[in-house]
Structure 1
Amino acid sequence: MSTPPVRVETGSDPELAVVTVNHPPLNLYDRDLHTSLNEAVTALEQQRPRGALFRAEGKVVSGGVDVRETFLPLAQTHDVEGGRRYFAELVELGERVHLLPFPTVFAAHGLTLTWAFELALACDLIVAGESASFGLIEATVGLTPAMGGTQRLAERVGQGRAKWFVMTAGRFGAAEMERWGAVDRMVPDDEVETVSRELARSLAAGPTQAHAATKEILRELAVGGLGQANARTAEIAGALFGTEDLRGAMDSFVEQGHGKATFTGR
């Protein structure tokens, strides 16, 4: 039995799920990876850890998509409906990652092209090594990104820079991406694994339902603007007063001071 291209592990810390892409030599997106990534996200939805780290094995995070397998047959037969169905699956997959009710961190240790960067943008935070680079290069084959990457990049850096990034189909280094706000933290290459794991582990140990509320309020902002986010904030944040974590953290604050509370995710 072959090893799946994507695996989900918890290891010694059951609260943190680690999602690893290992599809050598270049972690190209093909049907096997598509199926395996869907299964991995389903596992996260069912297991409901308190945090997740997305990472990849190999010299690169991904060299992009296996065009010969995925897009070429559709292009050769002018299969518009087939293309729509496939892209609908990709959009749904990115949205499912975006909607996970716990913090998600993406570790980019090297070249991160197309679907891999779109997956990173669907996560909450991106940690990148100094030599990492990023690209949405679909325009080179007459396509546009279809996992939600264009719009999520625009949310981070603005429409002008998103258009530049996508339309030029260039590759952009981690330092520039951090300056733009597309990458949240750049670290030395040999620290990517440690920093990203520690960040994900720290978030997973935090107030899980409060983190979920933060994500929900920001989604309201993205969908309906400041007015809609403000209208929903009291309901979303107010519900936290019914959680065990808030009650325990308040007791801890009164008894021990700030920063001493521990959380269970309930």
Structure 2
Amino acid sequence: MVLQNRESTADYSDYFKDKSWSCCSTAVSVIAPKILPSVSSFHAGGQYEYILVEKRGEKSDVGFIQLNRPKALNALCDGLMREVGQALDVFEADGNVGAIVITGSDKAFAAGADIKEMQNRTFQECYGGNFLAHWNRVSTVKKPVIAAVNGFALGGGCELAMMCDIIYAGEKAQFGQPEILLGTIPGAGGTQRLTRAVGKSLAMEMVLTGDRINAQNAKESGLVSKIYPVDQLVSEAVKCGEKIAANSKLVSAMAKEAVNAAYELTLAEGNRLEKRLFHATFATDDRREGMTAFVEKRKASFQDN
């Protein structure tokens, strides 16, 4: 059964008088995106309110999370991000799931953080409550996470996509960090991950001007790996997830750890970690099976141990 979105129908149009940066926060109801069809939801404690969740792929081995606040262009409210974290926890504990896809709608992956929710927060509340800290759950999942980005990925939406391990973009995708236009700066990794992905000059330009880049610019700069037509994006992301899930889930987690370390360690330290993780694969049954299958010219049958 498809989960019905239960958010309020508040009109956010006051935020959109300047179309050059309007989509960095919340959205106008008249341009609400359509929801992907045939998506069911499940939750250990009941239905989700802001996301749609299921398992996809021929072997149901790809976790699938669709952001579902259509009247707000998937603006990232606190409740939505907590539900994403809960869904990730469920998939992390599911031994059959080998990869996870996060997507939005054709109009917007996520148009930013919910500005209406943040508007009256004080410094004391933000600092004392470690505001946005739980958003980082996406980046700490051991299983590979793929962002399938159609439409707007702005502000917090761009940050959410960059927390994922792989970004696939639809042809009409737009990326940006327009927080400067609201009198603030990115607060969920935007200045850090964007700089590492596209380099200092482009990142500085995007953060200081609030300008967006399109899908082609994002691919050329290294922010995304592939671009697909809008209607093919999600299925291609799931196919990528299936390819990943067909490998050893244990070794995939080790490979992800090694690649992520490249952003935080020196070359010498990174190479030492890589070597230790490489050596560690020799303690797994899957490494033995993979090499034996190669020698015997057959397909490997990994058991994730």
Q: Note whether the superposition's TM-score is higher than 0.5.
A: yes
Q: Distance in 1 between matches of 2:274 and 2:126?
A: 38
Q: Which amino acid aligns with 2:115?
A: V
Q: Which amino acid aligns with 1:32?
A: G
2:300 is matched with 261
Determine helix, strand or coil for the equivalent of 1:183. coil
Q: In 2 relative to 1, CA 21–85 (structure 1 residues): closer, same or farther, beyond 3 Å?
A: farther
% identical aligned pairs? 28
Q: Distance in 2 between matches of 1:13 and 1:245?
A: 19
Q: Distance in 1 between matches of 2:188 and 2:234?
A: 25
**CA RMSD between the two structures:** 2.0
Q: Which amino acid aligns with 2:107?
A: K
- Structure 2 length-normalised TM: 0.78
98, 102, 115: which one aligns with 1:54: 102
Q: Which amino acid aligns with 1:238?
A: H
Matched, 1:4 2:45: no
The answer on whether the counterparts of 2:155 and 2:177 sit within 8 Å (CA) in structure 1 is yes
Matched, 1:179 2:220: yes
Determine helix, strand or coil for the equivalent of 2:264. helix
Q: In 2 relative to 1, CA 85–44 (structure 1 residues): closer, same or farther, beyond 3 Å?
A: farther
The answer on whether the counterparts of 1:91 and 1:146 sit within 8 Å (CA) in structure 2 is no
Determine helix, strand or coil for the equivalent of 1:222. coil
Matched, 1:93 2:135: yes
Q: In 2 relative to 1, CA 188–7 (structure 1 residues): closer, same or farther, beyond 3 Å?
A: closer
Q: Which amino acid aligns with 2:51?
A: V
Per-residue deviation, 1:89: 4.5
Q: Which amino acid aligns with 2:113?
A: V
Q: Distance in 1 between matches of 2:276 and 2:135?
A: 28
Per-residue deviation, 1:7: 3.4
Q: Which amino acid aligns with 1:55?
A: T
1:65 is matched with 113
Matched, 1:30 2:86: no
Per-residue deviation, 1:92: 4.1
Q: In 2 relative to 1, CA 196–168 (structure 1 residues): closer, same or farther, beyond 3 Å?
A: same
1:83 is matched with 126
Q: In 2 relative to 1, CA 97–30 (structure 1 residues): closer, same or farther, beyond 3 Å?
A: closer
Equivalences for residues 227-266 of structure 1 within 5 A:
227-256=268-297, 260-266=299-305
Q: Which amino acid aligns with 2:300?
A: A
Q: Cα deviation per residue 1:83-112 (whole Å; 9 max; x = unaligned)?
A: 2256x4524422x22222121111011111
Q: Which amino acid aligns with 2:50?
A: P
Per-residue deviation, 1:208: 2.1
How many residues are paired up? 257
Q: Distance in 1 between matches of 2:106 and 2:228?
A: 18
The answer on whether the counterparts of 2:103 and 2:148 sit within 8 Å (CA) in structure 1 is yes
Q: Which residues of structure 2 form unaligned runs of 5+?
A: 7-47
Q: Distance in 1 between matches of 2:143 and 2:64?
A: 13
Q: Distance in 1 between matches of 2:302 and 2:200?
A: 38
Larger helix proportion of the pair? 1
Determine helix, strand or coil for the equivalent of 2:109. coil
Determine helix, strand or coil for the equivalent of 2:241. helix
Matched, 1:43 2:43: no
Q: Distance in 2 between matches of 1:243 and 1:14?
A: 24
Q: Distance in 1 between matches of 2:174 and 2:131?
A: 26
More deviation, 54-63/173-182: 54-63
Determine helix, strand or coil for the equivalent of 1:121. helix
Q: Distance in 2 between matches of 1:194 and 1:54?
A: 12
- Structure 1 length-normalised TM: 0.88
Matched, 1:166 2:207: yes
Equivalences for residues 132-171 of structure 1 within 5 A:
132-171=173-212
The answer on whether the counterparts of 1:105 and 1:200 sit within 8 Å (CA) in structure 2 is yes
